Structure 1
Amino acid sequence: MQKLSRIVTLSIALTLISGCSYFGVYKRDLAQGNLVTPAMADQLHPGMTRQQVIDLMGSPLLEAPFNASQWDYVYRLDEAYGGIEQRRLTLTFNGNRLASVEHHGDFSRPPALISERGIGPSGDNEENRGNLLNVSPSEKE
């Protein structure tokens, strides 16, 4: 009986310290779509050509299949231990020129994954110095 209790105790201890933990799983933020910052959205203005919009914003995530004059830039951030942030920018073209811009969501601040220093790690070590993704636009000039 004493041997059986030792085996059960050892089995429980090994289960608790193994990878199949009772305490939970690791989660991470999941960003999907086009990353559109407030600065990018502010630079859009009626009269721009499609190529100028692509140069500024990149290719759209969605082009309406039955209406070639509408592009959608969609961004969704599913925070691991928080809520969901969604943004959508709908651009309507008249021929080859941008006619209107519609904002859906909060474009008053950058998405949560972008720190004040830029996209990527926020550490101030030697590896991150000189990396263009970690430099704000004012530091590039």
Structure 2
Amino acid sequence: MQLKSIISALVLALSVTSCSTVSKLVYRIDVPQGNFLEASKVAQLQTGMNDKQVQYLLGTPMLTDPFGANTWYYVYLEQRGYETPEQHTLTVNFNQRNIVTDFHLDKPLPDDSQVAVNNAIIESQKTEPRRWWKFWQYW
């Protein structure tokens, strides 16, 4: 009787802990946060643009300089599943007349042409129309 309870306790303990050893079993969604920065949009950014043009091109900044409105920060953070999060920060500096004096991107953005697109067009093969009396051919 004592042996049965010990064996059942061991089996229960092993079955409970076996689930915790499997890593990456639970699906985690991709979490993008902040301003989505595209390489093509950042390439269009130039010194000499005014603040309205920058805001039209890149959107509203995530952060502005708390001690003055002369620096805008565009921050993009992406967490893909179980990978380490990747952050890109674009800093845009303005002068007193709200003209871009310089900008700095902390690390290069992935190229837009290399990004995998899930909206692929699937071409269907031309087939003859289905007839109701030939139903056995389509199973």
Cα distance change of structure 1 residues 110 and 76 upon mapping to structure 2, 3 Å threshold = farther
1:67, distance to aligned residue in structure 2 (A): 2.0
Aligned to 1:132: none
Measured in 1, the distance between the counterparts of 2:81 and 2:116 equals 21
Offset at 1:115?
3.4
1:124 maps to which residue? 120
Shift in alpha-carbon separation, 1:45–1:115, aligned structure 2, 3 A: same
CA offsets per residue over residues 51-107 of structure 1, 9 Å max, x none? Answer: 000110000000111121000000011222211211000000012211101111222
Q: CA deviation at 1:123?
A: 4.3
**AA of the residue aligned to 2:92:** L
Gaps of 5+ in 2: 1-15, 123-139
Deviations 1:9-29 (A, max 9, x none): xxxxxx9xxxx9985673112
SS at match of 2:78: strand
Aligned residues: 117
Q: Which residue of 2 aligns with 1:53?
A: 54
User: Percent identity of the aligned residues?
Assistant: 31
**1:7 counterpart residue number:** none
4+ residue segments displaced more than 6 Å? none
RMSD of Structure 2 on Structure 1 (CA):
3.2
Alignment of 1:21-32 (within 5 A): 26=26, 27-32=28-33
SS in 1 for 2:69: coil
Q: 1:101 aligns to what?
A: 103
| 3-state SS in 2 of match to 1:31 | strand
Q: Per the alignment, do residues 21 and 83 of structure 1 end up closer, same or farther by CA in structure 2, a change over 3 Å counting?
A: closer
TM-score of the superposed pair, with normalisation by structure 1 = 0.63
